Structure 1
Amino acid sequence: MNAPTKISLPTTGQLALAARLAEGATAPTGDITHVDAATYTDPARHAAEQAKIFTRVPLVIAPSALLPQNNMAVPHDGFGKPLLIARDKDGHAQVFLNVCQHRGTRLVEGSDPVCAARLVCPYHAWSYTLDGKLAGLPRPDAFPGLDKATLGLKKLPTRELGGLIWFAFDADADFTTAEALGADFAAFDMAGQYLFRRRTHAVAANWKLIMDAFLESYHVQRLHSATIGPFFKDGISVADRIGPHQRSAVGREAALAACAADDWPTLRSAITYTYQLFPGTVLIVSPDYMNLMVMMPQSEGRVLVEDFMLIPAAPGSEKALAHWEKSWNLLDGGVFAGEDFRAAALGQEGLASGAIEQVTLGTLETGIRHFHDAVEAML
């Protein structure tokens, strides 16, 4: 899973965004639009989003790098049901309900990876292989006629595409647009990355407020003025859509001329690509690492955000370790938690007060408009 980074070419879509950046900025066009404040604060709206979006469409649950070896499993509770992300002995990723089929006991506790050829229930020691099959049980004579083949773990639809693991609660979920994005992530060799750090943040905000922040560059020079803002040219950004998903690119101040290149080292020095994966995942591709953020709404005013930092290979020295730690602390602890998530929480407080009836979006915030239109279409 963590082989050296492969040499791959950018996709046609990635190059098209780069070419538009290389042509220079154009004045934003369009009209001012609005989003009702209740979209972020209404409990009934939250319930509808859970019922009609999060239980129906494919969701990103983790990067492939979370499970770098075969016979690994990670418990996951963020989406409201006990889940288990597993990689079986043949290397296939699976998502199961983390529930023993004997008496309904949670099979694996905690949230840390487990490495084992079998998962053993802590109650009666029924055991399962990592492909979900019931492998054995104590005193089988006490269960005459039991067909083990019918008592495997409950499997959910799962796809591993370009270094991301997607799943769905709905057996009929359509993974077509997720599959279309796989080539983009393969071009970054996401499947070959090393998971450096992961952390889950509890944010006192509606999940859409956090998605909003990653759908526009208007705030970068303002909110991030003391951190990453100086690296970017104000207003130099382009975007397109792949189904309900959005792909955007922001030009870096020091290297805009390099946007016309067609090789990754040059392009990544000039451009930060961001993918907003519907409904609630963000991938940010920085010059030498990536951050994947998975949003798991808990209520209309609270969301869990799991941040994964992916780097090309495991640190090979103390100097390399210090370099990646600095990047992790800057982004996860500073920019995301200290600025983006804080701004979302402040926004939630203001919207919940009833001070305004609608949020106003300008022409630099059209990505937010497209996102909310996609949410409305699902509802």
Structure 2
Amino acid sequence: MNAPTEGQLALAGVLARGGSRGGGEIAHVAASVYTSPERFADERAYIFAQVPLVIAPSSLLPGPNMAIPHDGFGKPLLITRDKAGTAHVFLNVCRHRGTRLVEGCDAVKGGRLVCPYHAWSYAFDGRLVGLPRPDTFPGLDKAEYGLKRLPTHEAGGLIWFAFAEEADFAEADTLARDFEAFDLAGQHLFRRRTHAVQANWKLIMDAFLEGYHIQRLHAGTIAPFFKDGVSTADTIGPHQRSAVGREAALAALSSNDWATLRAAITYTYQMFPGTVLVVSPDYINLMVLMPQSEGRVLVEDFMLIPEAPATEKALAHWERSWELLDGGVFASEDFRACELGQQGLASGAIERVTLGTLELGIRHFHDAVNAHLR
């Protein structure tokens, strides 16, 4: 197992001492930030169109010469891994007449990427490698007709991209050091599912920025695994890292052994603007948020496990974990609560939401959003 970072061990130390985010006072967030179409338009223009975004785990493309279409961020995208193993994010658009290059949503493996209209073909690194009747395009330089590549960066088991050419991926490398401790890059993608949630994207992020709701909302599912209030968090730039102590392993929180701590703590990373990584002791969930409107967001959930199931028993075990968390805890509880919150906020019944001292990570997140909008 890889070695933990100082930050991961520091959070474990706080949990061993009883855990808390610290004092502070009640804070508030205006209800309008979740319901205003104008506010949402600004967030798309000044945040999602500008900053680095996680698009998928590295394990989505486990081998070379693979490509997967992706439409969640409002433009037709294509995630590829070329023959050398390098990940790319391209616009999924043929450079000839602008036709969508790869249809559907399934993975394409091997061979070439061939346009369905005129059969212009591309390598998985985006190069134009062939076109029918090249004699009818006198003087055309194939080197100038490669797929439009967006800034792409793979680090620590995640593939990041940005729409803005000047995007800086330095913080992705900082986070990657934490993810290497979990061997995120070496995980196997077990399942993925996209949820359409009728709520503002920030309500989803809010739900994973506080542990106050665990004993209440999740009373019938995962609450027994955790001790109420034994949690803590810190920040990495605009991103947040939190830790919650597991009830059955509280005595292990003072251990210096990383494997023991992994079994005792659930780490969660809230990556700005809209990605959540939940690291349970034996598997990992990555959630990528793709806002569609002020009241609707797509959430793609990836479940990552240490290795592909080798037996029917192992397969059944992971299926149960998948349905408990993705179908039960996330979909039926967290996402449903966010939809109910959206309905209430849209009614105009309250002008602001109120945050207690266990929820101040939400205020920090909204401060980061506001800073980008300014």
The interval holding the TM-score normalised by the smaller chain is: over 0.9
- Over residues 116-144 of structure 1, what are the superposed CA-to-partner deviations in whole Å (9 max), with x where a residue is unaligned? 23100000000000000000000000100
Say yes or no: does 1:76 pair with 2:67: no
State how many pairs are aligned.
Answer: 373
- How far has the Cα of 1:265 moved from its partner? 2.5
- Look up the match of 1:156: 150
- How far has the Cα of 1:111 moved from its partner? 1.2
CA–CA distance in 2 between the matches of 1:113 and 1:365? 40
Say yes or no: does 1:226 pair with 2:220: yes
Contact 1:19 1:260 in 2 (8 A): yes
- How far has the Cα of 1:46 moved from its partner? 0.3
Unaligned runs of at least 5 residues, structure 2 = none
- How far has the Cα of 1:113 moved from its partner? 1.1
Contact 2:150 2:163 in 1 (8 A): yes
- Look up the match of 1:17: 11
Say yes or no: does 1:314 pair with 2:308: yes
Say yes or no: does 1:107 pair with 2:101: yes
Contact 2:20 2:232 in 1 (8 A): no
CA–CA distance in 2 between the matches of 1:295 and 1:344? 13
1:177-256 correspondence runs (5 A) = 177-256=171-250
CA–CA distance in 2 between the matches of 1:183 and 1:9? 10
Unaligned runs of at least 5 residues, structure 1 = 1-6
CA–CA distance in 1 between the matches of 2:278 and 2:43? 25
CA–CA distance in 1 between the matches of 2:255 and 2:101? 50
CA–CA distance in 2 between the matches of 1:148 and 1:183? 39
CA–CA distance in 1 between the matches of 2:267 and 2:45? 31
Contact 2:238 2:368 in 1 (8 A): yes
- How far has the Cα of 1:28 moved from its partner? 4.6
Contact 1:10 1:263 in 2 (8 A): no
Contact 1:10 1:262 in 2 (8 A): no
Question: Which of 366, 371, 374 pairs up with 1:372?
Answer: 366
- Look up the match of 2:251: 257
- How far has the Cα of 1:39 moved from its partner? 0.3
Question: Which of 257, 282, 291 pairs up with 1:297?
Answer: 291
- Look up the match of 1:4: none
- Look up the match of 1:323: 317
CA–CA distance in 1 between the matches of 2:19 and 2:202? 28
Contact 2:21 2:357 in 1 (8 A): no
1:33-48 correspondence runs (5 A) = 33-48=27-42
Say yes or no: does 1:136 pair with 2:138: no
CA–CA distance in 2 between the matches of 1:348 and 1:56? 26
- How far has the Cα of 1:36 moved from its partner? 0.5
- Look up the match of 1:64: 58
- Look up the match of 1:272: 266
TM superposition outliers: structure 1 runs of 4+ over 6 Å: none
Instruction: In structure 2, give the amino acid aligned to 1:38.
Output: S
Say yes or no: does 1:97 pair with 2:91: yes
Say yes or no: does 1:31 pair with 2:38: no
CA–CA distance in 2 between the matches of 1:354 and 1:27? 31
Instruction: In structure 2, give the amino acid aligned to 1:283.
Output: L
Say yes or no: does 1:350 pair with 2:344: yes
- How far has the Cα of 1:183 moved from its partner? 0.6
- Match of 1:364, SS state, is coil
CA–CA distance in 2 between the matches of 1:239 and 1:10? 16
- Go from structure 1 to structure 2 and tell me whether the alpha carbon gap of 1:91 and 1:145 turns closer, same or farther (over 3 Å shift): same
- Match of 2:358, SS state, is helix
- Match of 1:70, SS state, is coil
Instruction: In structure 1, give the amino acid aligned to 2:147.
Output: L
Q: How many percent of aligned residue pairs carry the same amino acid?
A: 75
Contact 1:195 1:310 in 2 (8 A): yes
- How far has the Cα of 1:26 moved from its partner? 4.9
TM-score under structure 1 normalisation? 0.97
Q: Which moved more, 1:20-29 or 1:49-58?
A: 20-29
- Look up the match of 2:169: 175
